[in-house]
């Protein structure tokens, strides 16, 4: 892939990931988190599935199961945790925690695939987690949303590894559609069981759902799956440090959230940690990907 094209797609994708946090938090004024995300992904997945109905569909039970598993981790797990965590923490903090997932890619790659990483990469993991602590003012034990967002980061890392392993067998747009449908259905079921259901219909609430469904789901997931498929998952994931930067900026712009100095400092350290973990680490990460496959 041409470097300029790759850079442009990375910026667009990470911007859409980042702005989804403040837009989603705005939507929580009109619907509970699981219901809002369930509507988002069922709508997005349904629309994309209709657009892709002439493309190659999943073959056999195993491929349908793989698409569903990716959806449970990528859509339901990541976004469910991210938006549920906003009951306790700001959208900026949720963005920083959720997108620390590349740090978990290294840890999980070591534990699951037996990959061996350089000292520099483990140093990056340590810096990243120090950054997480600083971003939350060293109050890691005070907020349930902290641990919920971290669970979302682990889910994001798991989905990244699953996508790299299974995506060669899929049409990427079809995979994006069905994983969103699977995740959306799971979130709706969770909403019916755990939430008091309501949705306040206004111009703003409809605009929020449409933006999340079209731009932050269909466009974002299609581009993200394309980038993971065409490039190394570790190197591509290293650019997720842009997401909290976009998330913090758009949270300030759209919600007027006050950005404390330690949030910015922690976010910067998370970015540095992710950079050290993945940048110029193609050989080792590639070896990990082969072992996982």
Q: DSSP for 2-32? A: -HHHHHHHHHHHHHHHHHHHHHHHHHTTTS-
Q: Is residue 8 part of a domain?
A: no
Question: Does residue 166 register a pLDDT over 70?
Answer: yes
Q: Which residues have CB under 8 Å from 106's CB, separation 6+?
A: 117, 121, 122, 124, 125, 234, 277, 278
Per the structure, the complete domain to which residue 39 belongs is given by: 16-292
Share of residues in the chain with pLDDT > 90 (%): 28
Which stretch of 16-20, 34-38, 249-253, 289-293 has the lowest confidence by average pLDDT?
A: 289-293
Structural domains in the chain (count): 1
**pLDDT by residue (tens digit) across 199-240?**
999 999 999 999 999 999 899 888 887 887 776 666 676 677
Question: Does residue 119 register a pLDDT over 90?
Answer: no
Alpha carbons within 13 angstroms on the beta-carbon side of residue 67 total: 25
CA atoms of 212 and 43, how far apart (whole Å): 10
Question: Does residue 282 register a pLDDT over 50?
Answer: no
Q: What does the pLDDT read at residue 211?
A: 95
Q: What does the pLDDT read at residue 235?
A: 66
Give the residue among 204, 275, 176, 188 at the shortest CA–CA distance from 234: 275
Mean pLDDT comparison of 156-165, 192-201, 278-287, highest-scoring range: 192-201
Q: What does the pLDDT read at residue 284?
A: 40
Q: Is residue 272 part of a domain?
A: yes
**pLDDT by residue (tens digit) across 85-117?**
888 887 777 877 887 777 777 777 777 766 666
Which stretch of 77-91, 147-161, 226-240 has the lowest confidence by average pLDDT?
A: 226-240
Question: Does residue 287 register a pLDDT over 50?
Answer: no
Q: What does the pLDDT read at residue 286?
A: 41
CA atoms of 214 and 210, how far apart (whole Å): 6
Q: What does the pLDDT read at residue 208?
A: 95
Q: Is residue 249 part of a domain?
A: yes
CA atoms of 71 and 78, how far apart (whole Å): 10
Q: For residue 248, what are its two tokens?
A: 């913090």
Mean pLDDT score across all residues of the chain: 81
CB 80 within 8 A of CB 187: yes
Q: Is residue 27 part of a domain?
A: yes
Q: What count of other Cβ atoms lies within 10 Å of the Cβ of residue 99? A: 32
Question: Does residue 285 register a pLDDT over 60?
Answer: no
CB 156 within 8 A of CB 94: no
Q: Is residue 7 part of a domain?
A: no
Which run of H or of E encompasses 62?
helix 60-71
Question: Does residue 291 register a pLDDT over 60?
Answer: no
Question: Does residue 140 register a pLDDT over 70?
Answer: no
CA atoms of 15 and 292, how far apart (whole Å): 29
Q: For residue 255, what are its two tokens?
A: 């919600």
Q: Is residue 3 part of a domain?
A: no
User: Tokens 């799956």 identify what position?
Assistant: 225
CB 223 within 8 A of CB 24: no
Q: What does the pLDDT read at residue 281?
A: 45
Q: What does the pLDDT read at residue 267?
A: 73
CA atoms of 97 and 104, how far apart (whole Å): 11
Q: What is the pTM of this model?
A: 0.77
Q: What does the pLDDT read at residue 237?
A: 67
Q: Is residue 4 part of a domain?
A: no
Q: Is residue 9 part of a domain?
A: no
Residue 62 binned pLDDT confidence (cut-offs 50, 70, 90) = very high
Q: Which residues have CB under 8 Å from 182's CB, separation 6+?
A: 45, 67, 68, 70, 71, 72, 75, 76
Residue 122 binned pLDDT confidence (cut-offs 50, 70, 90) = confident
User: Tokens 């859509």 identify what position?
Assistant: 75
Give the residue among 284, 180, 172 at the shortest CA–CA distance from 233: 284
């Amino acid at each position: 892939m041409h470097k300029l094209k790759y850079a442009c797609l990375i910026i667009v994708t990470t911007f859409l990931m980042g702005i989804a946090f403040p837009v989603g938090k705005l939507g929580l004024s009109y619907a509970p988190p699981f219901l809002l995300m369930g509507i988002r992904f069922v709508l997005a997945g349904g629309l994309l599935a209709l657009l892709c109905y002439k493309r190659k569909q999943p073959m056999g039970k195993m491929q349908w199961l793989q698409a569903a598993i990716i959806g449970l981790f990528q859509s339901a797990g990541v976004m469910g945790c991210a938006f549920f965590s906003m009951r306790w923490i700001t959208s900026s903090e949720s963005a920083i925690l959720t997108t620390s997932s590349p740090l978990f890619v290294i840890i999980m790659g070591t534990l699951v695939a037996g990959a061996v990483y350089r000292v520099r990469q483990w140093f990056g993991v340590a810096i990243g987690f120090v950054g997480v602590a600083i971003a939350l003012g060293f109050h890691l034990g005070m907020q349930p949303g902290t641990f919920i967002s971290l669970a979302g980061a682990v889910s994001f890392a798991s989905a990244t590894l699953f996508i790299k392993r299974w995506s060669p067998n899929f049409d990427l747009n079809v995979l994006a559609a069905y994983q969103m449908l699977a995740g959306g259905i799971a979130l709706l079921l969770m909403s019916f069981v755990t939430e008091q259901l309501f949705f306040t219909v206004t111009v703003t609430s409809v605009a929020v759902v449409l933006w999340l469904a079209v731009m932050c789901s269909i466009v974002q997931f299609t581009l993200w799956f394309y980038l993971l498929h065409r490039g190394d998952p570790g190197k591509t994931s290293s650019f997720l440090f842009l997401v909290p930067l976009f998330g913090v900026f758009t949270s300030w712009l759209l919600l007027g959230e006050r950005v404390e100095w330690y949030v910015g400092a922690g976010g910067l350290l998370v970015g540095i940690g992710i950079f050290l973990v993945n940048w110029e680490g193609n050989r080792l990460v590639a070896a990990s990907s082969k072992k996982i496959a």
